[in-house]
Amino acid sequence: MNSTYLEKFDPLQPSELPDSSEVFYCHLEGKVEDSEIPMEKIWYPSEGSVHGQLSKDTEETGLSPDDSELLETHFTKKQLAPVLHLRKVPTIQSRFLSLQKWEGIVFKVLEDSFIARLTDLTEKGPDEEAEFAIDEVHEEDRSLIKEGAIFYWSIGYLETGGQRRRVSDIRFRRLPRWESKEIESARKEANRLRDILEWE
Amino acid sequence: MNGNKVYFPPNDDEFEISLFGPGYGESVVIHIGGNNWVLVDSAIDPTTRKPAALTYLQKLGIDPSNAVKLVVATHWHDDHIRGLGEVLSVCKSAQFCCSGALRASEFLTLVGLYGTRLMIESSGIKEFHTILRIMESRRKKIGRPLSGIKLAIADRTLWRQSVSVSGQTLIAEIHSLSPSDASILKAQKDIGSLLPVEKETKRRVSPGNPNHVAVVLWVSIGDISVLLGSDLQETKQVDTGWSVIVNSPNRPPGRASAYKIPHHGSGNAHNNQVWTDMLQVNPYSLLTPFVTGKSVLPKKEDVKRICRMTKNAFATASIKKRKSPKRSKTVEKMIRETVRKINEVFTSEGQIRLRRRIYPKDNFEVDLIGGAVPLENIHLG
């Protein structure tokens, strides 16, 4: 459990945890993105505020000394990710009806556009490649358009106060920064692997 | 081809090489005789989402846990390594081999930084992380020799075994012809530049161009020799790229009758001396196409060049106009309003298979399976 982030929310009590039909996924500027929570499910907060708690921490993929178990762990079980249960306190009734979502990875940045590899998050379909005009991206996200950057593209309807409008929204993930302890730990692990494995 | 006629295993005295791709990647499966199999790189079958090599061996009724003796990662580009961890995990008797450049602390640190992070997609690095963990667990369980990682460098014998074929005892060998010392040094510097510094924002690591440390293999038994070019490119420098290989006095003698053309047939991987000094006349030449963004390989001029060199050139798939998956009209309209262009990733799967008796001398029988085509037809799809 990542308590650093919990304290920023009003945690729900276990009895208050929403049932599956009420689980919201949200995009919280500068807060949740700093944790290791995948943002593939995006809910667009409008004028509401959000309360939530992390109910399950990231589980690193375990490795068994037995290769067959390893295979099962790695390739047939989906890696677990934390689930964020949220309670929305809306001030204006609004609802986003999602029709299609993708996760994208930028692999080439051109003068006024970028090319990305898209993974369909709505249906298990083939990966796609798309070219987006940089103008399609929110101004505050444009500095994040770099090779290797990850974003989410959702299209659907936003229903607010009886009005319905079509929305196509591209949100770039703000990943945390590398900490010196992470780099140092990776260096130690590299030395360990180099020492214990037989390199012929 | 009729599936029933295709999926039967080779006899012990038959040599076979299959090239799979593009799917998600490129891979080579070799039967070097006596039920000894070698797997080079990994491609994911777009339908089953499993490594194409394992699916193929399963169709042939081959047990990879005993039959596969060597698994080679030629370099760490996603299109060559995706699924290789799963391959190695299943091939329990196989030794793992990778480019000598990857023992560098810089690369292992990169694996430590990116290999376990759920948030940062980087399949090449993650694949290596899986592989290293498998090797670590084998070390604890089995000990030598399977726990060792064989490092491929220029002019090195990676694997050698006596194989009894039609009453003859022949030596089956696999040599690595690259990377050169200079390429390894350059790679260490390049990989070092990918390491993040404190306070730098995390993002997916881009492998840059590890093609210059790609492992080129020479596979031989009896009078058969095969040259597997991986993605090695020409650098116009004497101490890196194909120049080192063609000028090496230590490479195995002889000329190859089959050639896995490097780097999808691109012009920058072509070296004329390879064709004049290392290959027989009209060698069986195999390649996988590569299409991403605006980059398409091989180009039409590449096809012309290769077809001038040999009458026996084949590709695992034709390069077709790509399209997007069908979606509702509303969704389609909104997609068109947002993007300039959208296409399905190029994944049509095909296999080129060459088989022949090892002894006595024989001709290769060519099977084009799935979307595979003669190279001259690659742009007619």
Interface test with B, best of A67, A74, A145 (most B CBs within 10 A): A67
Query: Under an 8 A CB cutoff, do A130 and B339 touch?
Result: yes
Among residues A92, A117, A140, which one ends one of the domains? A92
Among residues A61, A92, A123, which one ends one of the domains? A92
- Name the band, by pLDDT with cuts 50, 70 and 90, for residue A72: very low
Query: Under an 8 A CB cutoff, do B121 and A150 touch?
Result: yes
Residues in CB range of B186: below 8 A, 6 or more apart: B212, B213, B240
pLDDT of residue B227: 98
- CA A25 to chain B, closest CA, distance in angstroms equals 16
Q: What is the dihedral of CA B361, B364, B365, B368, to 10 degrees?
A: 170
Total number of domains in chain B: 1
A121 and A179 belong to one structural domain: yes
- Name the band, by pLDDT with cuts 50, 70 and 90, for residue A28: very low
Angle (deg, nearest 10), helices B105-114 and B181-194: 40
| Each residue's pLDDT tens digit, A91-141 | 567 888 999 999 998 888 999 999 998 988 888 777 889 999 999 999 999
| Each residue's pLDDT tens digit, B105-129 | 899 999 988 887 655 555 688 899 9
Residue of B nearest to A109 (CA): B293
Interface test with A, best of B108, B320, B326 (most A CBs within 10 A): B108
Total number of domains in chain A: 2
**B150 close to B97: Cβ distance less than 8 angstroms:** yes
Among residues A92, A108, A134, which one ends one of the domains? A92
Query: Under an 8 A CB cutoff, do A186 and B103 touch?
Result: no
- CA B221 to chain A, closest CA, distance in angstroms equals 24
In this prediction, the residues of chain B whose per-residue pLDDT falls under 50 are: 2
Is it the case that residue A2 has pLDDT exceeding 50? Answer: no
User: What is the distance between the alpha carbons of residues B352 and B285, in angstroms, rounded to a whole number?
Assistant: 10
A7 and A25 belong to one structural domain: yes
- CA B293 to chain A, closest CA, distance in angstroms equals 7
Q: Token pair for residue B129?
A: 């992380």
A108 and A183 belong to one structural domain: yes
CATH number of the domain encompassing residue A163 = 2.40.50
Nearest to B74 by CA among B158, B148, B179, B172: B179
A83 and A134 belong to one structural domain: no
DSSP string across B208-226: --GGGGPPPEEEEETTEEE
A32 and A104 belong to one structural domain: no
Q: Which domain holds residue A126?
A: 100-200
User: What is the distance between the alpha carbons of residues B45 and B30, in angstroms, rounded to a whole number?
Assistant: 18
Query: Under an 8 A CB cutoff, do A175 and B120 touch?
Result: yes
Q: What is the mean pLDDT of chain A?
A: 65
A82 and A106 belong to one structural domain: no
Nearest to A154 by CA among A49, A28, A41: A41
pLDDT of residue A29: 32
- CA B305 to chain A, closest CA, distance in angstroms equals 29
**What's the one-letter identity of residue B54?**
L
Nearest to A102 by CA among A145, A147, A152: A152
Q: Which domain holds residue B370?
A: 3-380
A87 and A108 belong to one structural domain: no
A155 and A177 belong to one structural domain: yes
Compute the average pLDDT of residues A161-165: 85
**What's the one-letter identity of residue B215?**
V
pLDDT of residue B200: 86
Compute the average pLDDT of residues A51-71: 34
Size of interface A-B (CB pairs under 8 A): 200
pLDDT of residue B123: 63
CATH number of the domain encompassing residue B143 = 3.60.15.10
pLDDT of residue B232: 94
